[in-house]
Every structure is written in C-alpha cells, then in structure tokens.
Copies of this chain bind each other. A is one copy, B any other.
C-alpha cells in the first residue's frame, strides 16, 4: 500500500488544534492565508506521494556508497532532491530576502511531516539545510548571509552540521577540532568529525559544513567553542564553486537503517572556513541550529509513525484470520491501532504547538513565546521520536510474521526511525534539558503552560466531562511533580525521562480535548480512548519522576555487573 500524505489530518491540526490562525493574524505572517496554506500543503502532498515515497525502498536496498572518496547516493535520490529544491521546499520558511517563501515554520513543519513519512532518508538532507539557514540568518555576518543564504535557500547548496567527535558526543564540550586564523579573515580547520549525516552528496553544487571548533587559546569545555562554515568547494568571487577545500569523507557507516542517508566520518585537513557569530560563541549558534533541528527530528518520528500506521491499518483491514472478518475486528488489534493513532495525534499536536510558539516568538518578540517554545522543544523531539519508534514497532507486530520480512516495509520504518531517538541529542538528553535548563526559570514557563491546559480542561468540563476531568487531574499532578522537582534539584536527573513522558501525555490530553471540541464523533471516540487508555500511565510515570535519585543511584555499577 503506497504512502498517502495525511493532508486533511494536517489541515485539521492547523485549523483546530495548533491554531495556525493566530500566527496568520500577525503582520509578519499575514501571507499565510488559509488559501495559500491549503495550496502549499496540497502541492507538497503531491510531491511526497508521487515523487518521494517511491524512492523510500530504493534508499534502503541501495545505500549511499563511498567510491574513491566520492559519495554516490541511492538511485533516484538526485532526481528526488531536485524536485524538492526546484519546488522551493527547502526555503519554505526562509526569509524572502534570500529567496525563501517566508511562510510560518508551522507550515514548514506540516510539510516536513509529510516528507518524513514519504522518504525519511532523503528528507533529512533539506532538514539539515533548514537548520543552517536558521543559524546563519540569526548569527552570520552580513557578508556570509548575502553569500550563503540564497544558495542554501534555493537548495543549490546543501547545509550540514559537523559537531560530534569520537570523544565528544552528548558532551560536545570535549571536542578538539582546531581553527587557526589564516591572517586574511578566514580560518584553517583541522580535526575529525563522526556521525555526519549527509556529509556529502552527488546532487548539490556545493555542501556547506557548519563545524564546531576551537580557536587558539580557547577556554576548555563549551565556553571555548566557535562555529564556522566550511564549504566543500571554495567559492569563487562570482559565487560559483571553485577548488576543493581540504576536507575528506573517510568512510560511510554501515547503519541499522536510514541507508539512503550517508553518515560519514569526515577529516578536516586545514580546510578553509569562516567564523559564524562571535569567537567562542559557537554554542549559542549551535543551539539555534539544533533547536530547529530538534523539532524537525521530532517531526521525523511523527512522519514515520504516520506511514507505519497507514501500512498497519491497511494490513489489519485486509488480512483475515480467525474465520470471520479482517483482523481489525479483534479487540486486541483494534486496541493497538487506536493507541497508534491516538499517540500519533498527540505527538503531532505537540510538534505543531512548538512550531506555533516559535512562529509567534518571531512575529511578536514576546519572550513568553520563546520560553514556551523552549519548553516544548525537548518534548516534541523526544515524544515525537518515541512515538515514531513505538508505532513502527507496533506496525511490525500487527503484521505478524510478515512484519519481520523486509519486503513488507514495516521493518524499514522501524529501522529508519530508530536513530531519531538518538541524534540531535538523545532522548535522555532531551529529558535532562527539560528538567534542567527548561526549569531554570523556577518553573514559570511550565506553570503558564499547565495553567492553559487546566483552563482548557475547565472550559470543556460541561461538554466533555469524561475527557476534561482526567486531563485536568493529570495536569494538576504534573504541576505537583514539577514543584517537587524544583524543590529537589539533585533528584531531577533520575526522574527526567518519566517526567518528560508524563508531560507529553498531559499535552496530548489537551490536544485530544481540542480535537473532541472541534471535531466529529470519530475525534471524540479517539479522545475518549486516549483518556481511558493512555492517561492512566501518568500516575505511575509521576511516581517514578518523584521517586528521587536514591533508589536509582543505590544500584551501583558493581551491583550492575554482579
């Protein structure tokens, strides 16, 4: 069964759950009229269904290869990429000064959702470029912006991130790549980077590497890191690509999935680069790029969940077992499918809420919106990718023996999505970010968000008591757990992961409530399922979140190996 972009579902989210209308009501995004957005989404859906989805299996069966130092991408990927670039999809939310469409990130998020479901391995390429556009727009010098942004926005060049080193993964402060001034305003970059997604390709004119490195005399740790752009080909004065820069792809990794996306070990051997942002200010630049990418990765999980759910539902409604009808008639199968759909709905709503907050922060400069986005980003990333993993795994399970056979495609979704819980900060790191940095305002931003959830539940109480009550109670217990974590900073790490999950459950509850208020019987029944089958997880999760570090750390490394 071919993937079909969930166009009407996304329209429902934008119109009735995420509230794109408030974004479109700002002068900044006045062009995002319902007609324009509708046309954009329909055109994106056509691209996804007709051009990208047919490439997905090819990427898995014919991984990108390294031949004599040159990356050869999977069959059809070059054509697929050109369709993305020529359609203007890379720069959908980029500034019109650089040739972008200037639409809200919320709309770009819906498009990325569809593209992820169609062909995750290829979609990762423009997603990374979008992160670099964001970073250069915020932190690049006017010269860098004028030179790079039009090429990245058009997709003529792609942009990648080179952060990780063998000894510096989650601990980015441990990196050792060096940057030496060349005396002409540029720098010479030397070091080795690993796990570099789309480090190279054979379909863009040039590849702009965003590289973290240390200037001479830089402080140790994250305070001594600077960001550079390092192009694969050194640009000529006229903007054309000139001679090759001193960097090499040393190898491509053999991965569990996402075979169509080349993941490289890169060597910078005195490669020429240019500073982005102030010296030693690389972390702030990286977080601009990374926060954007974190939301984008959460959306990757959601796109795969959509694709895996479609395939599982198709199987369940056509596969007959047990005499009577299709297996969807069995209660346990129905339960699994309802859970998949309810979780997918919740994860998508959280991601779009996060995108709306980012758009509103940009449109209004109100710091409350930025703080809202900051809280939602780790939840959108971790829950979106967890749901992607869980739905894809449930998809395998629903297919029975066929799920384990590669031809079915269910296994590929599960293998491809697996890395999304890891890259751009593991989901454990997201949880630590949530209970750490994102509570560092004393819980103010979280408190405001929970106020809104409780207000929504209170307003819905008369109409939908069976939904509103559980959502309100879950939000209130999350508030109590938040207060507990605020009072027990040393216990936050041990409770971070279940706290994030409970937070996502509460936000999912609000989203289902909104859907039930605005939607038809189907929305109400799915929301009721969520309230009765998903929200009951919350007390157990919060009991873990508030249990403290003692029982966890009491299990010593020696205990673990005994």
Contacts and interface: CB of A to CB of B under 8 A. Distances in A.
Interface stretch (A89-97, A124-132, A326-334, A353-361): A326-334
B560 A341 contact: yes
Which residue, of A164, A332, A411, A414, has the highest number of chain B Cβ atoms within 10 A? A332
Contact of A431 (B320, B332, B389): B332
Contacts of A334: 494, 552-553, 555
A309 to B, nearest CB: 9
B428 A332 contact: yes
Interface string A44-60: 00000000000000000
A335 B552 contact: yes
Contact of A406 (B254, B331, B552): B254
A197 B376 CA distance: 46
Per DSSP, chain A at the interface is helix
Contact of A551 (B401, B497, B532): B532
Interface string A421-453: 111001110011000000000000000000000
B404 A555 contact: no
> Which 8 A/B pairs are nearest by Cβ-Cβ distance?
A331-B493, A256-B411, A171-B321, A522-B559, A331-B494, A536-B543, A536-B540, A338-B555
Interface residues of A, number: 90
Interface of A: 164, 167, 169-171, 173-174, 194-195, 221, 253-257, 313, 317, 320-323, 326, 328, 330-338, 341, 389, 393, 396-397, 400-401, 403-407, 411, 414-415, 418-419, 421-423, 426-428, 431-432, 493-494, 496-497, 521-522, 525-526, 528-529, 532-533, 536-540, 543-544, 547, 549, 551-562
Contacts of A549: 331
Nearest to A405: B253
B323 A171 contact: yes
B332 A497 contact: yes
A163 to B, nearest CB: 11
Contacts of A528: 551, 554
A401 B423 contact: yes
A230 to B, nearest CB: 21
Contacts of A538: 540
A7 to B, nearest CB: 13
A426 B497 CA distance: 29
Given A522-B559, A528-B551, A529-B555, A405 B497 contact: no
Contacts of A195: 401
B540 A526 contact: no
Contacts of A313: 560-561
Q: How many copies does the complex hold?
A: 2
B422 A401 contact: yes
Nearest to A561: B313
Contacts of A333: 428
B400 A422 contact: yes
A33 B403 CA distance: 44
B411 A426 contact: no
A537 B536 contact: no
Contacts of A533: 544, 547, 551-552
A338 B552 contact: yes
15 contacts: A256-B405, A317-B561, A331-B493, A331-B549, A332-B428, A332-B493, A332-B494, A396-B422, A397-B427, A397-B428, A403-B422, A404-B422, A522-B558, A529-B551, A533-B544
Contacts of A321: 169-171, 174
Given A326-B557, A338-B552, 19 more contacts: A169-B321, A170-B321, A171-B321, A195-B401, A253-B404, A255-B404, A331-B493, A331-B549, A331-B553, A332-B428, A332-B432, A334-B494, A334-B552, A334-B553, A337-B560, A400-B426, A401-B419, A403-B422, A525-B555
Nearest to A521: B559
Contacts of A323: 171, 173-174, 221
A332 B421 CA distance: 15
